[in-house]
């Protein structure tokens, strides 16, 4: 087998090795089934059990109340940017309100304009998305259909550390890049969604957790394949879902419960990993300059600059030699981005911190 | 390893063993990359090479002319049922025309009504979808935005054996369940689409081949994630595509070119397999009653009834004992359906035919 590297990709991203090993073992035939997970009908007993376990495990991990539906969709978060206003804004006579804290929030807000009135109630653009609002800074409109936030901005590396309280307005949250990294009070959210390819599986599955009173808001003009209620009614099986993606997601929920011990433990682990990297950054005497202001630093994506583009290039080249890969920042921001999602081992974060200290010493 | 069965599932469906074996070997780390295909960025060099090879192989296999784009989307054919009229019908002042030859054609036609005027120009419903129209039977409207057909109806088992000629009206074809089973004259089609989970991979990827003059027909009201032109502009990478699904699709195109020797050979092979099963049916003296009229029989899905529900149940139970699995017909039609897609080995078709003969002898 080819040797594995430490993969700091922002997504698709590192997955737990035991999950990959089980998918590998079962690739030719699921035990007791005799066909691959890639080959079995979505209506087969074997797949229905996988789907049911995926949902049950997720409900236990997040403590999802009974009045919330769990949906497994396709199309990534980008399709949710459209589905949310189609279902919750179109023909409502209300306004969709967006907290724009980074590149993904910007894109989400823009898509809402296709369906109705959109208002940006807070934007971090003036300071290049290096901070987040205090909850008291966010104005509330009297006619809000919903309030949309992005819990973690993957590109800029800013993250809400706690669950906001939006009062009577349904809170809609894009949790794509920090889903399942800590416990969440689902009761505060009207709809929480995440594409899988950071903490929850391969690209091609999107998980939506939605309070059931929001399901009947879509007007009749919304086609069934873009309608949450239609998916809820058919238990995510209006058509063939991404069966393999759901299978890997199910294996990840098992890993989170079994190997990790739940989301409180996961958060401890994520804090310890992030501390390793941020400490190396903070102790560099300004050689590394973090993008996010300290109180808003992401536990998932550590973003920073080096003294020059040239030094950054050497940093990246040297990192790859140490098997520390995919550390280049997003093209819109530049610099370095170390994505240290749930499945990044402690050893990966430790080796990165060590490399950062060593590189700063030799180049500072 | 668990022993494999012969899997006659209508989809997700049997895949080539060498493809599964390669996916298994590389599950922990792609050679030279050090991460799993599930973990690498869609913008990484490794994935861009996979995507480029998938497209190049498909273009060679189907002889796709240069003025056609190849798109890799999500959401299955069901989302195409909506995207097609959004892009080609909405605000056009024209009429979408549908040949309805089975259950999938029905669903496709229904979704068009969300976007504009829809007209069924031919329907096989009166005879329970057991036949297809002669091309001269299909009336042409002067205001057609496009004409939609379903090349193979998975549930009823009726299939167009040749590429229709729709003249100046763009021909839109749902080829989900017979994609890549034979050579196709792409030049006759305006848009040809297929979900992957029959002949082209796991569920969660949809392949769209579209003539480039159709890309600019979508009005501005169509959101980018539902707009063909937006996908074409970004080479299917507006957002993260189903990277694993595209990888498996690429492996399947290699198998079709290398192991099978191209689509003419694939068609020969599929004809031989289908003959084995239909011969067993025809020689049963009426014990097995085929659903489709002979000239319209599908090479992919063989549908038939037995003398009674009770006998059908025993047929299915006995088949499973012989490792011939997933032969139950769709709930809307009943009976038996043997799906014998590209990857079904000749031996599977031979064993099924043998079992059918034996069962008829003992129960006829």
Give tens-digit pLDDT for B16-50: 999 999 999 999 999 999 999 999 999 999 999 99
A311 Cβ under 8 Å from any chain B Cβ:
no
Residue linked to tokens 């929001």: A214
Catalytic-residue membership of A168 = no
CATH number for the A18-259 domain, one of 3.40.50.720, 3.40.640.10, 3.90.1300.10, 3.30.429.10?
3.40.640.10
Contact flag A39-B78 (C-beta cutoff 8 Å):
no
Catalytic-residue membership of A174 = yes
A-interface mutation test, from B1, B10, B11, B12, most A Cβ less than 10 A away: B12
DSSP bridge partners of B149 = B173
Catalytic-residue membership of A135 = no
pLDDT in tens, B176-226: 999 999 999 999 999 999 999 999 999 999 999 999 999 999 999 999 999
Contact flag A32-B2 (C-beta cutoff 8 Å):
yes
Nearest CA in chain A to B45: A326
CA atoms of A259 and A17, how far apart (whole Å)? 11
Common-topology check for domains A18-259 and A262-363? no
Q: Provide the ipTM.
A: 0.97
Active-site residue among A104, A178, A255, A273? A104
B252 chain-A contacts, CB cut-off 8 A: none
CA atoms of A319 and A326, how far apart (whole Å)? 9
Contact flag A240-B81 (C-beta cutoff 8 Å):
no
For the beta carbon of residue B187, count every other beta carbon within 10 angstroms.
Answer: 12
B82 chain-A contacts, CB cut-off 8 A: 223, 225-226
Terminal Cα distance for chain A, rounded: 38
3-class secondary-structure state, position A360: helix
Alpha-carbon distance B188 to nearest alpha carbon in chain A (angstroms): 28
Active-site residue among A69, A198, A273, A328? A198
The closest CB to that of A27, out of B13, B20, B197, belongs to B20
A79 chain-B contacts, CB cut-off 8 A: 74-75, 225, 239
Q: pTM of the full predicted structure?
A: 0.98
Alpha-carbon distance B333 to nearest alpha carbon in chain A (angstroms): 16
Residues 95-124, chain B, touching A (beta carbon < 8 A): 111, 114
Alpha-carbon dihedral sign for residues A218, A219, A225, A226: negative
- The half-sphere exposure of B62 on its side-chain side, counting CA atoms within 13 A, is 27
Burial class (CB in 10 A: 0-12, 13-18, 19+), A107: middle
Tens-digit pLDDT string for chain A (364 aa): 568 999 999 999 999 999 999 999 999 999 999 999 999 999 999 999 999 999 999 999 999 999 999 999 999 999 999 999 999 999 999 999 999 999 999 999 999 999 999 999 999 999 999 999 998 889 988 899 999 999 999 999 999 999 999 999 999 999 999 999 999 999 999 999 999 999 999 999 999 999 999 999 999 999 999 999 999 999 999 999 999 999 999 999 999 999 999 999 999 999 999 999 999 999 999 999 999 999 999 999 999 999 999 999 999 999 999 999 999 999 878 899 999 999 999 999 999 999 999 999 999 8
Active-site residue among B69, B104, B122, B178? B104
For the beta carbon of residue B310, count every other beta carbon within 10 angstroms.
Answer: 9
A38 chain-B contacts, CB cut-off 8 A: 12, 15, 20, 23, 201-202, 248
A363 Cβ under 8 Å from any chain B Cβ:
no
Q: Where are the domains of chain B?
A: 18-259, 262-363
Alpha-carbon distance A50 to nearest alpha carbon in chain B (angstroms): 15
Work out the angle between the directed axes of helices B309-321 and B346-363 (0-180°, nearest 10).
130
Active-site residue among B69, B94, B198, B273? B198
Identify the architecture of domain A262-363 in CATH.
Alpha-Beta Complex (3.90)
Burial class (CB in 10 A: 0-12, 13-18, 19+), A221: exposed
CA atoms of A346 and B28, how far apart (whole Å)? 19
Q: What are phi and psi of B65, to 5 degrees?
A: -65, 160
B320 Cβ under 8 Å from any chain A Cβ:
no
């Amino acid at each position: 087998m080819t040797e594995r590297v430490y993969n700091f990709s922002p997504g698709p991203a590192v997955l737990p090795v035991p999950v990959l090993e089980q998918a590998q073992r079962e690739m030719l035939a699921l035990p007791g089934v005799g066909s691959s997970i890639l080959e079995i009908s979505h209506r087969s007993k074997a797949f229905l059990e996988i789907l049911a376990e995926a949902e049950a495990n997720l409900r236990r991990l997040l403590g999802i109340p009974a009045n919330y539906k769990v949906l497994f969709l396709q199309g990534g978060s980008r399709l949710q940017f459209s589905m949310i206003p189609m279902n919750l804004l179109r023909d409502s006579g209300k306004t969709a309100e967006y907290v724009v804290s980074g590149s993904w929030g910007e894109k989400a807000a823009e898509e809402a304009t296709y369906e109705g009135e959109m208002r940006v109630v807070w934007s971090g653009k003036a300071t290049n998305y290096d901070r987040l609002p205090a909850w008291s800074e966010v104005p509330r409109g009297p006619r809000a259909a919903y309030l949309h936030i992005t819990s973690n901005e993957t590109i800029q590396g800013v993250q809400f550390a706690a669950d906001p309280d939006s009062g009577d307005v349904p809170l809609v949250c894009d949790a794509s890049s920090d889903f399942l990294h800590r416990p969440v009070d689902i009761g505060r959210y009207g709809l929480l969604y995440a594409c899988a390819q950071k903490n929850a599986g391969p690209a091609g599955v999107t998980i939506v957790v939605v309070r059931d009173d929001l399901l009947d808001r879509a007007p009749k003009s919304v086609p069934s394949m873009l309608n949450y209620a239609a998916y809820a009614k058919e238990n995510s099986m209006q058509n063939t879902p991404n069966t393999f993606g759901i299978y890997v997601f199910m294996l990840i929920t098992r890993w989170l419960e079994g190997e990790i011990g739940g989301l409180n433990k996961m958060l401890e682990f994520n804090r310890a990993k992030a501390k390793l990297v941020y400490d190396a950054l903070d102790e560099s005497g300004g050689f590394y300059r973090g993008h996010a202001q300290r109180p808003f630093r992401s536990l998932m994506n550590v973003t920073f600059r080096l003294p020059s583009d040239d030094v950054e290039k050497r940093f990246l080249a040297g990192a790859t030699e140490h098997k520390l890969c995919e550390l280049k920042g997003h093209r819109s921001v530049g610099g370095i981005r170390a994505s240290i999602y749930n499945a990044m081992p402690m050893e990966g974060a430790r080796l990165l911190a060590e490399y950062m200290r060593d590189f700063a010493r030799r180049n500072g």
